[in-house]
Amino acid sequence: MAYGYGGAELLSDISLKLSPGSFHFLTGPSGSGKTTFLKLCYGALTATSGEVRLFGQDVRTMNRDDHALTRRRIGVVHQDCQFLDHLPIADNIMLPLNVSGRDDLEDVANLKELMGWVGLGKRGDAYPPTLSGGERQRAALARAVIMSPDVVLADEPTGNVDWEMSQRLLQLLIELNRMGKTIMIATHDMNLIRAAKNNVQARVLRIANRKLQLAGADL
């Protein structure tokens, strides 16, 4: 599979299969294409050549509703997380449940626990524009996992949070992984990767020279 934004190819000869329940880190210098790669993984971009399959279905054959349904199975944390600014953060975190018509009481209980875990327990009524960068990232992570999706893709989820909080967020993702979810985290925070490696069997993918390589055990 390959991808380019019109000009030269940004990613070439990529071949990868994320097996269910795996835990991956994605690293590489800024501008190397980590975000682009994640977008290919959830179907926001279509490969310029080659084939991408999501849950066995070729992205090229998916219609808009197929994409919507796929996104309910893939929780995404964007680098620049966006929210519905006119709704309180708790409603924003619940949004994936609402749009898929699933907002029962059990989920409301989950919401409380989840918000507590990401340190937003007391911020539920705040509006997104009043949150700090770190709070937004935590809220975005909570929103990505509230549906208990099969796959979580997180793009620099710990970019704006302190070390302690990044450990908490990592812990949350590790817990989800233990429940069988597939996790992929794009980051260039080597300390985070090292910390994770003590707790989970994580593989590290590195983008270099337009290629995706499996980094050795040298970390």
Partner 1 sequence: MSKVVDHLKGVFSGDAQADRVVPPSGFTARLTSFAAATMAFLTVFALALSMASGRLAMKWGDELTHSSTLRISAPAGQMADQTAAALRLLETTPGVATARALTSDEQRALLEPWFGPDLPIDALPVPQLIEIQETDEGYDAAGLRLRLQAEVPGAVLDDHTRWRKPLQQAAGRLRMLGWVSILLIGATTATMITLAANAALAANAQVISVLRLVGARDDYIAQAFVRRFTLRALAGAAIGTAAGLIAVMILPAAQEKGGFLTGLGFQGMGWFWPLLIPPLAAIVAFFATRAAARRALSELT
Ligand X SMILES: Nc1ncnc2c1ncn2[C@@H]1O[C@H](COP(=O)(O)OP(=O)(O)O)[C@@H](O)[C@H]1O
Cβ atoms within 10 Å of 195's Cβ, excluding its own: 17
Cβ atoms within 10 Å of 44's Cβ, excluding its own: 15
Segment near partner 1 (CB under 8 A), from 8-16, 84-92, 106-114, 175-183?
84-92
How many CA atoms does the CB half-sphere of 189 hold within 13 Å?
Answer: 20
Residue (34 or 71) nearer to ligand X, CB: 34
By CB under 5 A, name the one of 32, 35, 158, 177 that touches Mg ion. Answer: 35
Pair 25, 152: CB distance under 8 Å: no
Q: Could you tell me how far CA 35 lies from the centroid of its own chain?
A: 10
By CB under 6 A, name the one of 3, 14, 24, 28 that touches ligand X. Answer: 28
Under the binding rule (CB under 6 A), the answer on residue 32 touching ligand X is yes
Segment near ligand X (CB under 6 A), from 25-33, 52-60, 102-110, 162-170?
25-33
Quick note: the x/- pattern for Mg ion over 68-87, rule CB under 5 A, is -----------x--------
Under the binding rule (CB under 5 A), the answer on residue 36 touching Mg ion is no
Total number of residues that touch Mg ion (CB under 5 A): 3
Phi, psi of 175 (to 5 degrees): -60, -45
From the list ligand X, Mg ion, partner 1, none, partner contacted by residue 30 (C-beta under 5 to 8 A by kind)? ligand X
* Least gap, CB of 200 to partner 1 (angstroms): 26
Q: In whole angstroms, what is the distance from residue 166 CA to residue 155 CA?
A: 13
Q: In whole angstroms, what is the distance from residue 111 CA to residue 90 CA?
A: 8
Under the binding rule (CB under 6 A), the answer on residue 31 touching ligand X is yes
Q: In whole angstroms, what is the distance from residue 206 CA to residue 204 CA?
A: 7
Footprint of ligand X on this chain (CB under 6 A)?
Answer: 5, 10, 28, 30-36
